[in-house]
Amino acid sequence: MSKTMSKSHNVSEAESCIHGAANRSSRRSERRRADVEDPFGRALEYFSQVKAGTPVKGNDALENNLVLVERVALGRGLPPGAVATLLDFALSLRLGSSVCSRVLKFLIPASAVPQDSVVRGVSWFCMGKMPVSAQILFLRWILTMFDLIDSKDQLRSIYGFIFSFVTDEVLSPYVCHLLYLLTTKEHVQPFRVRKLLEVQAKMGRQPPLTQLLALYKVLCPEMIAISMPSKTRGGFKNHNLPWKTALAAVLKKNKTAEAPSPPLSLDIKEKASTRKRKKLHHLEVPQLSCGPEIESSRGKAVHLQQLRSFAQLLQNLDNIELPAQMGSLLSSSLALHYLDCVHDESALLRLNFWLGSVLHEEFLFCSRDGNPENSTEPSQFLDMLISTQDFLQECFSSSEFFLFKFLAMWDGSLHQPQILSLLSDIPPLPVSRMKMFLFEPLQQLYFTSSVFFKCGVIECLRSMLWKWLTWHFVQTSHKELDVSLSSSRTMNLHMSEFLELVTELVQYVGRLASAGLQLENYHILLHHQTLNFYELVCDVYLKFNLPLFLLPPSGVIFPSLLATDPVTVDRLGYVIFRYRQNLMSAKEHKQQKKEPSFHISRDVFREFNLLMVAVVSCLWISKDCQVDVGTDVHKALVPLRTMLSYCKNYNLIHHPAFLNYAIEFHQKCWPEQTNVDLSSIQGKKYWYWYLEFLFSQGFDGLKDFIQNNMDHQSTPVGGH
């Protein structure tokens, strides 16, 4: 026993040892000075040079140095060199195993653990002189510090030595864990598999062993088959208890400026552990695993499930092997980042087959066995799909196919928010296809459903248009960047089709909105959804550089104009104001560039002018006026003219939406008058005061509209 051996040495030897050290260091005087100033360095030197057999009991030098080093270790951690020295000192058992375990227990690295020292430690370990408790402690120490070891290549190259301890009953759990951390594909060999299976047969299904085997299966599925029972999924125990708090404290202290990359977990979706309905497995996203090695793949392939951070993903981006089941990429955010880089057609097709089949089975073929009331799982799945498509900013073609089929049989209420959200992801398609598969069925649902569904549909179509416009904008601006790619001729062709599609969509929404408003008795929510849509449409030219000017139909304009709540009128004002800005800027642009392709129909201007006349004459002109719209009397004007005769009293004072404000204003102007005579506001001075008063109430849309369209000198016609 090393302990008894060490006792036989005497004190003089130890002294001479120290003297010897002092003599040597005297030759390097500078170093010595440093040592004097730095007792820690001296302590380390002591540990590196202390001879085997130095007595432990009553050795003050040893005790002092241990205490000193321990204090430093627990305070700010040990530098790499110190870790190496101390590890070597401890594992060599020069001063016995009690000192060894004492040292190991406070061996807290400040930043990194040099790999060499660990390899050296393993070689001490393999010599077989260490007592079992020390061996276990050392293994636990490696497991705890594993992430801090600066590189692992040498450790991997001595995999076989470590593997040989797998048969040891006591060490096996720790060894399995360590192997689990070290294993790469090259390590999985038939003879090792056989050995592990032997151990399994002898010792039964121990979780660490099972985990190691499962990893072998992940890396080389052709060699081993294993299926994990759902209950015992817990893998390795934490072996870091002696060091945990100290290590955390030291790391926290040392981590100053270093900002870690955001954690990208590989397993966001913990499966609902108590899954009773096993038959519903088709809604489960499969686990990441790699394919069978029946055809040998590239040598240095990396598996996605081995990656832990975004940085690792970037480093290995070119070597990543696609998983066996493409659907598993939807299971984690890291994998989604990778999916964004996948350019393999087959892989995407596999993903689409999987996704399409899941959607079909669940929602179209309804193969759920009973239990129709449980709808949380399907809606969770749809939510996952929505967030995935949001992340990728694109729609899977399988989900597009599914939606088109599903729309034909949808009742409009099942998973309504999710389905509408998915619909808005549908990419631009040819008009005929869009009409047949989307517009027609959606229209039927729209007219037969509640006002809230109508609002949902309008919002969905708005969001869809917004996505199209954004795509288009990105695409065109991207094309402008590298001219070499784009041939303007094809661009124009497809551009025209895109314009046709957008026009069709806007007109479709126009029809839906005007009929819907009428059906729902001008429901205020629907009003606002509709105006929301037109707030997007009116700015298409300035915001998305698309020369398209589509005005709302009169079925939308006039109900908004005559609405009883002021916010609707205000928003209409803003919409018209933006249309005007867009048209003006387009006109300027046309005059400057003189591009032949850039053509705005005269009808657009005429229609807009008519709209302006109608709105202005309604809000501004009071009762005595007659509208003169010039000689070019449009057919649409005939009803307009008759309507105007009714809405004479809809100027900003008498408008039902603003009447309240007019009365308030009147009371403020003439507090003593009990008889409210609103027409007195129409005096020039009061009129502008009244406008200022309205603007101060937050009607910014109205303000923009009036200030940009009205000549400030003009008074409302018929004013006093």
Partner 1 sequence: MESPVTRLPTRRRTKSYGRSCFEASSRFAYTSGQLTILRIPTTREAPRARNIAERVDPEQVTLLIKNEWKLSYVTPLYRFRHTHLKKYSKHLSAFIAAEKQQGTAVEVGLETGYRVTFSTVLGIAETDEDAETVFIQIQSKPMFAATGDALKVVWSGWLTCVNGSPEYLHSLLPDFVSLPLFCSSGPENITVVVKSWFEKMFDCRFGSLGLDSTSLQWLCALWTGCHPDNNIRYLRLLWTLPTQPPLDVSYTVNPQDAWELWNSVRQEDSVDGTVGIDEVKHFMAGLESHFFRHFKIYLSSGTLRKVSTALGSAQQDGKVKILCSDYLATVLTLLTECAILKMPI
Helix (H) or strand (E) holding 524: helix 524-537
Contacts 24+ apart (CB under 8 A), 77-80: 77/108, 77/109, 77/110, 77/111, 77/250, 77/251, 77/253, 77/254, 78/107, 78/108, 78/109, 78/110, 79/110, 79/111, 80/109, 80/111, 80/112, 80/113, 80/114, 80/150
Nearer to partner 1, 189 or 581 (CB): 189
Shortest gap between Cβ of 485 and partner 1 (angstroms)? Answer: 7
* HSE-up of residue 118 (Cα within 13 Å, Cβ side): 29
Report if residue 71 touches partner 1, rule: CB under 8 A.
no
Residues 414-453 that bind partner 1 (CB under 8 A): 427-430, 433, 437
- Distance, CA of 492 to CA of 482 (rounded, Å): 17
Nearer to partner 1, 56 or 347 (CB): 347
Residues 586-645 that bind partner 1 (CB under 8 A): none
Nearer to partner 1, 79 or 441 (CB): 441
Q: Which stretch binds partner 1 (CB under 8 A): 135-143, 470-478, 509-517, 567-575?
A: 470-478
Shortest gap between Cβ of 397 and partner 1 (angstroms)? Answer: 3
Q: How far is CA 538 from CA 112, 574, 697, in A?
A: 60, 10, 25
Nearer to partner 1, 225 or 259 (CB): 225
- Distance, CA of 416 to CA of 375 (rounded, Å): 12
Nearer to partner 1, 2 or 325 (CB): 325
Q: Which stretch binds partner 1 (CB under 8 A): 178-186, 350-358, 602-610, 712-720?
A: 350-358
Q: Which stretch binds partner 1 (CB under 8 A): 238-246, 310-318, 388-396, 443-451?
A: 388-396
Angle at 342 between CA 340 and CA 345, to 5 degrees: 130
Residues 103-122 that bind partner 1 (CB under 8 A): none
Residues 172-191 that bind partner 1 (CB under 8 A): 190
Residue whose token pair is 């000017």: 549
Backbone angles phi, psi at 303, to 5 degrees: -95, 145
Q: Which stretch binds partner 1 (CB under 8 A): 9-17, 206-214, 680-688, 706-714?
A: 206-214
Q: Which stretch binds partner 1 (CB under 8 A): 140-148, 340-348, 631-639, 705-713?
A: 340-348
Residues 276-305 that bind partner 1 (CB under 8 A): 282, 286, 289, 291-292, 294-295
* Residues facing 113 on adjacent strands: 149
Report if residue 193 touches partner 1, rule: CB under 8 A.
yes
Nearer to partner 1, 192 or 578 (CB): 192
Nearer to partner 1, 140 or 467 (CB): 467
Nearer to partner 1, 279 or 300 (CB): 279
- Distance, CA of 175 to CA of 126 (rounded, Å): 12
| 362 to 381: interface string for partner 1, x by CB under 8 A | ---x-x--------------
Q: Are 717 and 624 in contact (CB under 8 A)?
A: yes
Nearer to partner 1, 402 or 534 (CB): 402
Tokens of 49: 């040079």
Helix (H) or strand (E) holding 209: helix 207-219
Nearer to partner 1, 359 or 562 (CB): 359
Question: Each residue of 56-78: b (16+ CB within 10 Å) or e?
Answer: beebeebeebbebbbebbbeebb
Shortest gap between Cβ of 571 and partner 1 (angstroms)? Answer: 33
701: number of Cβ within 10 Å: 21
Nearer to partner 1, 65 or 398 (CB): 398
Angle at 515 between CA 512 and CA 517, to 5 degrees: 100
Binds partner 1 (CB under 8 A): choice among 326, 469, 551, 613: 326
Nearer to partner 1, 252 or 276 (CB): 276
- Distance, CA of 114 to CA of 554 (rounded, Å): 77
Residues 471-500 that bind partner 1 (CB under 8 A): 471, 474-475, 478, 485, 490-491, 494, 497
Backbone angles phi, psi at 657, to 5 degrees: -75, -25
Tokens of 362: 């669940």
Angle at 712 between CA 708 and CA 714, to 5 degrees: 120
Shortest gap between Cβ of 410 and partner 1 (angstroms)? Answer: 16
Shortest gap between Cβ of 176 and partner 1 (angstroms)? Answer: 13
Nearer to partner 1, 350 or 666 (CB): 350
- Distance, CA of 578 to CA of 568 (rounded, Å): 15
**Nearest in space to 171 (alpha carbons), one of 218, 222, 213, 122:** 122
User: How far, in whole angstroms, is CA 688 from its chain's centroid?
Assistant: 51
Q: Are 211 and 236 in contact (CB under 8 A)?
A: yes
Nearer to partner 1, 257 or 485 (CB): 485
Report if residue 229 touches partner 1, rule: CB under 8 A.
yes
Shortest gap between Cβ of 197 and partner 1 (angstroms)? Answer: 6
Binds partner 1 (CB under 8 A): choice among 19, 28, 205, 275: 205
Shortest gap between Cβ of 291 and partner 1 (angstroms)? Answer: 8
Report if residue 504 touches partner 1, rule: CB under 8 A.
no
Report if residue 10 touches partner 1, rule: CB under 8 A.
no
| 240 to 279: interface string for partner 1, x by CB under 8 A | ----------------------------------------
Shortest gap between Cβ of 35 and partner 1 (angstroms)? Answer: 55
Nearer to partner 1, 257 or 294 (CB): 294
Give how many residues touch partner 1 by CB under 8 A. Answer: 79
Contacts of residue 512, Cβ cutoff 8 Å, sequence gap at least 6: 443, 446, 454, 457, 458, 461
Report if residue 228 touches partner 1, rule: CB under 8 A.
yes
Residues 396-415 that bind partner 1 (CB under 8 A): 396-398, 401-402, 404-405
Residues 305-324 that bind partner 1 (CB under 8 A): 324
Binds partner 1 (CB under 8 A): choice among 172, 210, 316, 424: 210
Contacts of residue 371, Cβ cutoff 8 Å, sequence gap at least 6: 277
Q: Where are the beta strands (DSSP E) in 18-106?
A: none
Tokens of 298: 């590239």
